[in-house]
């Protein structure tokens, strides 16, 4: 399988599902932290999606994220969508650490139809100084 396109978006483009959380957008990442007692929530990345290239519909091969966390924060869920269809789902994770790169497979040779997104479940232990995630980038590799 040969990668035909790789589409990424910068961490500055992350969207918070909860308006109660804070997002500090800096030049090289967005720092997300809880701003109330809601310690679990979702963030979303819209991925620029090449649906058809040279007359051929592309398939999603894998989804990737780059991030750092404070010592009391972790990413617990990694979901990938094509439009309204969930095409990959990884739950029960404990992704944490400094300058992490995580790649998850998109199973079943899914042909992309509409546009892709990556949704991440984030868990904080509270509202302390180490309760943060810095999102650097997110992307998807596509093949024919």
**What's the pLDDT tens digit per position in 57-72?**
999 999 999 999 999 9
Q: Which CATH fold topology does 3-143 show?
A: Jelly Rolls (2.60.120)
Rounded mean pLDDT of the chain?
96
Q: Would you kindly state where each structural domain of the chain is located, as residue ranges?
A: 3-143
Read off the pTM.
0.96
Residues 74/117, Cβ–Cβ less than 8 Å? no
Query: How many angstroms separate the CA atoms of 119 and 112, rounded?
Result: 17
Residue pLDDT, tens place only, 71-104: 999 999 999 999 999 999 999 999 999 999 999 9
* Residue 1 pLDDT grade (very low, low, confident, very high; cuts 50, 70, 90): low
Please, is 109 exposed, middle or buried when counting C-beta atoms within 10 Å of its C-beta (0-12, 13-18, 19+)? exposed
Percent of the chain at pLDDT > 70 equals: 99
Handedness of CA 20, 18, 41, 141 (dihedral sign): negative
């Amino acid at each position: 399988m040969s990668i035909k396109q790789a589409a990424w978006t910068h961490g500055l483009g992350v969207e918070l599902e909860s308006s109660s959380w804070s997002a500090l957008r800096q030049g090289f990442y967005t720092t997300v932290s809880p701003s109330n007692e809601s310690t679990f929530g979702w963030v979303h990345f819209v991925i620029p999606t090449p649906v058809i290239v040279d007359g051929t519909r592309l398939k999603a091969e894998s989804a990737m994220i780059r991030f750092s966390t404070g010592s009391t924060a972790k990413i617990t869920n990694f979901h990938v969508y094509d439009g309204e269809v969930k095409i990959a789902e990884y739950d029960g994770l404990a992704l944490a650490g400094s300058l992490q790169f995580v790649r998850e497979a998109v199973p079943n040779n899914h042909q992309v139809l509409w546009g892709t997104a990556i949704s991440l479940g984030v868990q904080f232990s509270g509202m302390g100084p180490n309760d943060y995630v810095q999102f650097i980038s997110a992307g998807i590799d596509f093949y024919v």
